[in-house]
């Protein structure tokens, strides 16, 4: 078997790994695939280094970890170049921001685009995809990093009193992912949303809200804090001032305690993260910079989410395709 090199992430992290040496020559080796799956299960994030920077490689690497999730629509942008089926193209151009400054967030006094707070993907669905694989096609020359924070570590560091108050409770998430509407855990200012967010507003009005536990237990027995103020409406059965105050406390504790690894992208990197365990965020960048990420989505479900009206995803009639959010 061709050997790969496995290292920890740079810095002080008890999760994540770096892997060097995955190529077309060993990608289909069954032993290697099993080894990578075990590593992923154990560590939650893998940074694959020195990969061939192509969509074809990104898709084939993703399939090591499971089948790709079919995208519900063909309208999500796929460029005409080498993008394969199943790869989502998230492309920000400097000209998207006009003098209205809509879409520009101010974080720590700095105007920036592409910023997204800690979150997990597909919160607004009952099913949570197993993982995502990201590749940076165009990076901002400064900032614009992707952050990853392990929910297992977060649980260990979380205020125990707060944990006791939220265990067994679900957070409510909606399809309305506009940052202007974020009610909990706000660390930014924003004047307005980009027009591209409009379809989610229309659909959010008719799409059922989704519930996900704020704390859950992995098969390994480890507990995971997995909760985000992004696109959240509050706590199930506690949509009242007390419940909202508790949810805000939780979101602030996440911001305080999330010990994030922020990845500085190279064109030959590909990163997989466990969407059931690891939250991610995007550090914004200066609006003058282009930023382009490609993402694949790996199918699966942890089985703990559900829609408020009791329907399953297949029964929900989506009038408009959801936007895929940058990462």
Interaction site with Fe ion (CB under 5 A): 121, 325, 327
Closest CA to 269 of 38, 49, 1, 20: 49
Distance in Å, CB of 124 to Fe ion, minimum: 12
Establish how many alpha carbons lie within 13 A of residue 237's alpha carbon, considering only the half-sphere containing its beta carbon. Answer: 6
Cβ proximity to Fe ion: between 32 and 278 the closer is 278
Residue nearest Fe ion by beta-carbon distance: 327
Cβ proximity to Fe ion: between 179 and 327 the closer is 327
Please give the Cα distance from 59 to 271 (Å, whole number): 12
Q: What is the DSSP annotation of 174-194?
A: -S---GGG--SS--EEES---
Distance in Å, CB of 238 to Fe ion, minimum: 26
Per the CB < 8 A criterion, the answer to whether 180 and 115 are in contact is: no
Residue pointed to by tokens 């297949």: 314
Cβ proximity to Fe ion: between 32 and 322 the closer is 322
Distance in Å, CB of 117 to Fe ion, minimum: 10
Cβ neighbours of residue 189 under 8 Å, at least 6 residues apart?
A: 105, 106
Cβ proximity to Fe ion: between 22 and 182 the closer is 182
Distance in Å, CB of 64 to Fe ion, minimum: 21
Distance in Å, CB of 147 to Fe ion, minimum: 11
Cβ proximity to Fe ion: between 113 and 325 the closer is 325
Cβ neighbours of residue 247 under 8 Å, at least 6 residues apart?
A: 171, 184, 229, 232, 234, 235, 238
């Amino acid at each position: 078997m061709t050997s790969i090199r496995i290292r920890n992430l740079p810095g002080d992290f008890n999760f994540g790994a770096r892997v060097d040496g995955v190529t077309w020559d060993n990608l289909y080796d069954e032993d290697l695939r099993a080894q990578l799956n075990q590593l992923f299960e154990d560590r939650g994030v893998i940074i694959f280094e020195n990969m061939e920077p192509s969509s074809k490689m990104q898709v084939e690497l993703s399939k090591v970890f499971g089948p790709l999730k079919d995208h519900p629509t063909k309208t999500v942008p796929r460029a005409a170049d080498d993008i394969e089926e199943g790869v989502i193209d998230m492309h920000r151009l400097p000209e998207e921001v006009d003098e209205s400054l809509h879409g520009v967030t101010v974080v720590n006094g700095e105007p920036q685009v592409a910023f997204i707070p800690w979150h997990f993907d597909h919160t607004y669905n009952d099913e949570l995809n197993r993982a995502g694989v990201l590749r940076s096609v165009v990076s901002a020359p400064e900032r614009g990093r992707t952050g990853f924070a392990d929910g297992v570590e977060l649980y260990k560091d979380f205020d125990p009193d707060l944990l006791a108050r939220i265990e067994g409770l679900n957070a409510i998430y909606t399809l309305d992912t506009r940052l202007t509407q974020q009610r909990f855990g706000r660390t930014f200012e924003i004047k307005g949303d980009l027009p591209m967010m409009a379809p989610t507003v229309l659909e959010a009005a008719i799409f059922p809200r989704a519930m996900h536990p704020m704390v859950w237990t992995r098969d390994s027995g480890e507990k995971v804090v997995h909760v985000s103020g992004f696109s959240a409406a509050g706590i199930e059965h506690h949509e009242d001032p007390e419940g909202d105050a508790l949810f805000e406390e939780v979101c602030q504790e996440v911001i305080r305690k999330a010990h994030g690894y922020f990845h500085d992208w190279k064109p030959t990197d590909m990163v997989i993260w466990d969407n059931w365990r690891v939250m991610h965020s995007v550090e914004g960048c200066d609006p003058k910079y282009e930023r382009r990420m490609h993402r694949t989505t790996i199918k699966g479900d942890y089985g703990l989410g559900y829609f408020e009206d009791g329907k399953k995803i297949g029964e929900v009639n989506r009038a408009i395709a959801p936007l895929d959010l940058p990462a």
